[in-house]
Amino acid sequence: MNINVVTLIGRVGNDPDIKYFESGSVKCKLTLAVNRRSKDGEHTDWFNLELWGKTAQVAGDYVRKGKQIAVKGALKFDTWSDRSTGANRSTPIILVDQLELLGSKRDSETDMMDGNPEHF
């Protein structure tokens, strides 16, 4: 049996980077900050997310920097050859197949304003 499942809850680090392809496909890239507790205190880990299709479109329409989301997907590695050194490089990416928008309605309303909750 093989299992490759990643589940994360965190805050989005950047507005969605959406690309539309001639084939009709939609791709979205995001970064996600997730806090991790250890005996040394709390640390923030950053994850690169890749979303496709309807999930990517939902992210493009509703996700913004600072929004709390939950994602479920699989870990993959993008690999390439460094142009200057010829060395093989890779970076881990979470290929998201499920996205859930978290936080209260008030959080969303605050996102639509200037981020200052005193305006309510």
The pLDDT of residue 1:
86
The pLDDT of residue 117:
36
The encoded tokens of residue 114 equal 């200037």
- pLDDT averages per 10-residue partition of the chain, 120 residues: 94 96 95 92 95 96 96 95 89 96 65 38
Instruction: Fill in the DSSP letter of residue 42.
Output: E
Q: Are 68 and 102 in contact (CB under 8 A)?
A: yes
What is 6-97's CATH topology? OB fold (Dihydrolipoamide Acetyltransferase, E2P) (2.40.50)
Other Cβ atoms less than 10 A from the Cβ of 52: the count is 14
pTM equals 0.79
Length of the chain in terms of residues written? 120
Rg (CA), the chain: 17
